[in-house]
Amino acid sequence: MSGHQHTHADPTHSHTHGGPAHADDAHPDWAAFGELLDLSADVHTPAVEQTAEWLRGLLRLDGGHVQRALDIGSGPGGAACVFARAFPDAEVVAVDGSPELLARARERAARLGVADRVRTHLAELPEGLAEVGDAELIWSSKAVHHLGDQQGALDRLAAALRPGGVLAVAEGGLSPRALPRDIGIGRPGLLTRLDALQEEAFAEMRTGLPYAKETTEDWPAMLAAAGLTGARSRSFLTDLPAPLDAPARRLLHADLTRLSDHLADRLDATDRATLDRLLDPDDEAGVLLRPDVFWLSAQTVHAAVKPR
């Protein structure tokens, strides 16, 4: 629920990646996390579809058509499948270090009727970036922040862009809000306190990454430093008012369950007890039953173009 959105379910990933994490952010259990990422991909598909249309307008290609797109840190393929539908001439390659998540990406592509144009590529990042080839569109959602040298990763991705193509990274935004400030149990402001704890955990994760470098996360400036032009940012909302539907409630419940485990050693007794009640499927104060549950989040996307 922090501004990084690093531990909330990623709409398109990511995690390589690079995305949300399990108890150990540096070594997440993506197999166990797959169902949550699938749910997240479903809930956030409309926002990713809007993102794809925005990116289409940024392309500066001679023929005007994307022939190849890469989803770096694809997770279960939510964005890859969106891009396959948005760019019907493109081969879309979902790249991830988890065989389990790539299997989910293939299943999603088959379910959505784009299996003939979505393929998967198993690669660890950042080393595996050299293997994926070039493309007119390269997308990475919450993958880069799991790599020690973020600028170095952007440099590699920019080098793989074809002239006139777009590199887009989804990093930052506004963390999900799903409950009122005062939920009638525990102390008001629970989500704000969870945000602060996640920021601490995220900073520790970043410090422990191999080859970690301190970076001012000015993403447009970082894209420009990678040799790209016209860097800009835009945020896309997922706005689901109360009463929340069943799939989004399941996502919220799964996400809070993982957060409760992830932050167990950082929570005080009162907030731990509050989370226990929120996660109790039989408690009317829990997120599966209470009528005031909603979902409001914003994902910021930073994009720039390879000079012709």
Q: What is the pLDDT of residue 130?
A: 86
Q: What is the pLDDT of residue 14?
A: 37
Residue 41: CA count within 13 A, CB half-sphere: 28
Q: What is the pLDDT of residue 12?
A: 36
Question: Taking the model in full, what pTM does it have?
Answer: 0.89
List of the chain residues with pLDDT < 70: 1-32
Q: What is the pLDDT of residue 28?
A: 57
Q: What is the pLDDT of residue 74?
A: 96
Q: What is the pLDDT of residue 26?
A: 45
Q: What is the pLDDT of residue 31?
A: 60
Q: What is the pLDDT of residue 134?
A: 97
Q: What is the pLDDT of residue 11?
A: 37
Q: What is the pLDDT of residue 116?
A: 97
Q: What is the pLDDT of residue 2?
A: 33
